[in-house]
């Protein structure tokens, strides 16, 4: 899956879905993706629970294995100079300047959060459910619609994978991240209650600390806005 954006910039942008079935290509892409993530956690320290230190720990093999997981779908935004011929605007060329991870489909029993104040969740026979996380655009490429392109590409993928079923894509935002909230609302997401940090990180499949070390005021206060975008089936 490849989606492109022609922006008033010296670059042209494409969003690619990292493939899982080409071991040689995947090995190369895993290295580029790891570099992007390390940069992301340094630039957006408040937006990511991971740190540079924690992102540096996984081995190269474990990074590849995670990208291969059937329920983990990784999208990268790639920037190419405007002079790049279309035939060379492939995932292995250009610079990785943005990313997004889509987790799913997720069963209702795992997806649903009690006391979230959100909308009713449909059964798995009626709709598929997805968790969106790790949305990032490099500062040098912001203002050209790359974030919008990433989010729309992931949502379109969820619709395609859902077939005749409806699809539901969820994103959790930091309560102070007003720009992210505004972006989701502009892209047809709707408010769907609130979540706490524990729920958000668990849904994003991030490593959680020992519950005994968790500060209740930090981990269990439902202050994080939840956004959902739903689409009807084919």
Per-residue model confidence as pLDDT tens digits over 8-40: 568 999 999 999 999 999 999 999 999 998 888
| Structure tokens given for 96 | 């990785």
| Strand-pair category, 11-17 with 2-5 | antiparallel
Q: Is the pLDDT of residue 6 over 80?
A: no
Alpha carbon 40 to its chain centroid, in Å, reads 13
CA atoms of 8 and 139, how far apart (whole Å): 16
Specify the length of the chain in residues. Answer: 234
* Residue 1 clears pLDDT 60, i.e. is over it: no
CA atoms within 13 A on the CB side of 37: 23
What distance in Å separates the CA atoms of residue 72 and residue 7, rounded to the nearest whole number? 29
Predicted pLDDT of residue 127: 97
Residue 208, pLDDT score: 86
**β-bridge pairing 11-17 and 224-231:** unpaired
* 211 three-state secondary structure: helix
The CA-atom distances, in angstroms, between 231 and each of 122, 125, 146, 164, 188 are: 12, 15, 22, 11, 10
Q: Once rounded to an integer, what is the mean pLDDT over residues 54-81? A: 88
Please answer whether residues 198 and 216 qualify as being in contact, where contact means their C-beta atoms are separated by less than 8 angstroms.
no
Alpha-carbon distance 68 to 180, whole Å?
Answer: 28
Domain boundary assignment for the chain? 2-231
Report pLDDT digits (tens) over 157-213: 999 999 999 999 999 998 888 999 999 999 999 999 999 999 999 999 988 888 888
Instruction: Please tell me the CATH superfamily of domain 2-231, with its number.
Output: Gcn5-related N-acetyltransferase (GNAT) (3.40.630.30)
Question: Would the pTM of this model clear 0.85, i.e. be above it?
Answer: yes
How many CB atoms are closer than 10 A to CB 220?
13
**What DSSP line would sit under 22-52, residue for residue?**
-HHHHHHHHHHHHHHHHHHHHH-TTT-S--H
CA distance 77 to 5: 10
Indicate the pLDDT class of residue 52, thresholds 50, 70 and 90: very low
Extract the tokens encoding 89. 């605007």
Distance CA 128, CA 66 (A): 22
Encoded tokens for 33:
């993706």
Report the mean per-residue pLDDT for the chain.
Answer: 90
Half-sphere exposure (Cβ direction) of 213: Cα atoms closer than 13 Å? 3
pLDDT exceeds 60 at position 48: yes
User: What pLDDT, on the 0 to 100 scale, is given for residue 50?
Assistant: 58
């Amino acid at each position: 899956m490849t989606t492109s954006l022609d922006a008033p910039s010296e670059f042209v942008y494409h969003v690619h879905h990292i493939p899982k079935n080409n071991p040689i290509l995947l090995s190369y892409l895993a290295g580029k993706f790891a570099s992007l993530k390390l940069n992301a956690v340094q630039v957006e320290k408040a937006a990511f629970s991971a740190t540079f230190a924690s992102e540096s720990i996984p081995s190269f093999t474990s990074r590849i294995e995670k990208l291969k997981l059937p329920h983990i779908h990784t999208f990268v935004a790639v920037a190419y100079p405007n002079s790049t011929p279309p035939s060379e605007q492939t995932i292995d060329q250009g610079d990785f300047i943005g990313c997004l991870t889509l987790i799913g489909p997720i069963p209702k029993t795992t997806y649903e959060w009690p006391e979230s104040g959100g909308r009713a969740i449909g059964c798995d026979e009626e709709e598929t459910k997805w968790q969106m996380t790790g949305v990032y655009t490099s500062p040098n490429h912001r203002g050209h619609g790359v974030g919008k392109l990433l989010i729309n590409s992931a949502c379109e993928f969820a619709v395609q994978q859902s077939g005749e079923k409806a699809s539901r894509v969820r994103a959790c935002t930091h309560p102070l991240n007003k720009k992210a909230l505004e972006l989701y609302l502009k892209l047809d997401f709707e408010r769907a209650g609130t979540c706490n940090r524990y729920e958000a990180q668990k849904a994003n499949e991030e490593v959680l600390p020992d519950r005994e070390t968790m500060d209740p005021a930090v981990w269990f206060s439902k202050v994080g806005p939840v956004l959902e975008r739903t689409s009807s089936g084919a």
